[in-house]
Chains A and B, each alone.
Chain A
Amino acid sequence: MPGPDLLSSQGLRLDGRRPNELRRIRCKLGVFAQPDGSAYLEQGNTKVLAAVYGPHQASKSKSLQDGVVVNCQYSMATFSTGERKNHPRGDRKSQEMSMHLRQALTAAIKTELYPRSQIDIYVEVLQADGGAYCASVNAATLALIDAGIPLRAYACACSASMAWRNGQPEPLLDVGHVEEAAGGVVLTVASLPSTGSIGLIEMSHRLHMDYFDVVLSRAMQGCKDIEVILDRAVREHLAEGWTKQDVVVI
């Protein structure tokens, strides 16, 4: 059992949450006028902006005949972390994150609808307090919905970790920066909760096979909870932006 105790004797975590609780999620769609779709999402103290351009004509070298090209850029603001970053984007970590983002989002986007087109997704982390990747996926999903791009379902991402309480394994949902730094295992899952399929799964440390299923199911449950929150935000946004459009219902 490495590291300090992640759970107190009362069963509360370092930031006072219960093991199965998410951090507070606040989000807003359509925060910019220039891109086709945009969203802002806060997950606890992790704050992320996402902007989507497209689908638009892909450059000749990139364009695919049978589907859309999804182009992601993940960047962290220089002031987002405790220690000031030198490179907001383009370093190894950001490039890897961009690739992971693309993988999770192409699983959700109905790519076959737009041959020879391209969708650009720009994600900017304003404040990183653990789970920046999860927040990025959630924000990018909202931005894609705002842009009116067809999706199979919501793509949600959530992380889970592992702690012990009275000798019993207890998975932790939505890992914060303190828990990440404590050195426990972090399992990140990006999934389409309504279909139950997984777009991306990643684990930071070693974990015994026996406990993997518990941690995974907790992360999947977290994705489902996030989907409910995102869905509510989308409906609120639709109600707010609804205009007298000439809807034909016969």
Chain B
Amino acid sequence: MFQVRKLANLTLFVTTTPTKRYNKINKSDCFENSILPVHFSVYFIFHRTKDYNSCKNMTRHVKIRLASERVNHSVSSNNELPRFYTPGEVITGMQDFMRGHGTYAEDDSLKASVAGVMQKVNKLICIRPLKSRYVGEIGDVVVGRVLEVQQRRWKVETNSRLDSVLQLSSVNLPGGELRRRSEEDELMMRKHLQEGDLISAEVQSVFSDGSLSLHTRSLKYGKLSQGILIKVFPSLIKRRKNHFHNLPCGISVIIGNNGYIWISPQEKSNLVEGDKDEIANVETQTVSRSERETMGRVKNCIAALVASKMMLDDTSIMFAYEESLKYEEVKDLLDTEAMLDVAFLTQHKINYVDED
């Protein structure tokens, strides 16, 4: 039934038929064809059935790379390496320094508790790790997912250590901003935001235990409807004045400080404000194919930058997008070489702009 052959290049063609599964290839089949399974090889698998042609239409390309052919994603940026500290390492004698995040005092000396670089503000010493969970600050723009609807508040997941809180009193409800929250509103909470909804919000305050209180009291915040969410490490996000960007390629991006990035089609400008039917339609409007492709391209560009650990902001994303245009098909950008190429060219462009 099955024939198994070794393939010279490492492109694996997998034919999918719903009735047959691959684990049906047992040892006896292999012996029949006098081919023994060899460790770490990739095989060409197909069914020798009568309707082979119909199977062929279902063939898909899957690229599998040997571990030894791994691409090194590091893009050289022209800054020299700082001094690194590792857990348990003595930073300094205690005398006249204050201990900040990532440090602790023991035996009259200040020691690091995470692996990273030192940040010193006057006498305050902090060690900042390469990556960690999101540590919120007031005024940050975040993208989060509603986990739970509770009494007069929503629990929101924001990649933080503890779940964040969105109070009913800190959202804009439809119909007038200055309106008392009635019991009716409490009952309607699930209609406004339900479990699983994505929202953009701003950090209103930070509680003593580190959990965040959010608010969406502005028209730019609120429920997100159609788009792509990417999760990256929060340390890769560059702090900027504005985290809402309308890219020139016709896509809008929300770069959340918590490492969640939201890509969505730009809202149509011809929308008449106040026309409620039109606003309701935004959520169900079909997004054209070209727009979806552009969104996919932006997503792949961000993935390329993240793989090379480059900082993300509107400029770097836009540069990467421009560089990616030489790859005609969006899916070509998923190739590791292409990702590295885009990241490298973007870094080059950023360096060039910085010098000017």
Contact = CB atoms under 8 A, between A and B. Distances in A.
Given A150-B104, A241-B309, A245-B235, A194 B88 contact: yes
Q: Which of B128, B132, B163 has the most A CB atoms < 10 Å from its CB?
A: B132
B114 A150 contact: yes
A218 to B, nearest CB: 22
A231 B310 contact: no
B60 interface: no
Nearest to A65: B209
Q: Is the interface of B mostly helix, strand, loop or mixed?
A: loop
A81 interface: no
Most buried by B among A37, A241, A243: A243
Interface string A226-250: 0000010011011111111111111
B104 A110 contact: yes
Interface in B205-259: 209-210, 235-236, 238-239
Contact of B86 (A54, A114, A234, A240): A234
Contacts of B162: 56-57, 116-117
Contact of A244 (B79, B86, B131): B79
A134 interface: no
B132 A117 contact: no
Nearest to B347: A244
B161 A243 contact: no
B81 A151 contact: no
B87 A148 contact: no
Interface stretch (B23-31, B117-125, B285-293): B117-125
B115 interface: yes
A149 interface: yes
Contacts, number: 114
Contacts of B79: 244
A110 B309 CA distance: 28
B296 interface: no
A70 to B, nearest CB: 14
Contacts of A116: 162, 209
B180 to A, nearest CB: 31
A192 interface: yes
- Contact residues on A (Cβ < 8 Å of other chain), bracket: 35 or more
Residue from B87, B106, B128 with most neighbouring chain A CB atoms (10 Å): B87
Interface in A103-117: 110, 114-117
Given A115-B209, A195-B88, A243-B310, A151 B122 contact: no
B113 A231 contact: no
A237 B118 CA distance: 16
Given A148-B114, A150-B104, A56 B87 contact: no
Nearest to B129: A148
Interface centre among B79, B88, B130, B210 (most CB of A within 10 A): B130
Contacts of B81: 239, 242
B82 interface: yes
| Most central of A242, A248, A249 by chain B CB within 10 Å | A242
Nearest to B103: A150
A176 B118 CA distance: 40
B120 A249 contact: yes
Interface string B94-135: 000000001010100000011111111110000011111100
A110 B209 contact: no
Contact of A149 (B114, B235, B309): B114
Given A54-B133, A152-B104, A243-B236, 18 more contacts: A54-B161, A116-B209, A148-B114, A148-B116, A148-B132, A150-B113, A151-B113, A152-B106, A154-B86, A154-B88, A192-B88, A195-B106, A237-B130, A243-B310, A246-B239, A247-B119, A248-B119, A250-B122
Interface of A: 36-37, 54-57, 110, 114-117, 145-154, 192, 194-195, 231, 234-235, 237-250
7 contacts: A56-B133, A57-B161, A57-B162, A110-B113, A150-B87, A194-B88, A241-B131
8 tightest A-B contacts by CB?
A: A148-B132, A153-B88, A148-B129, A150-B113, A151-B87, A194-B88, A57-B163, A238-B84
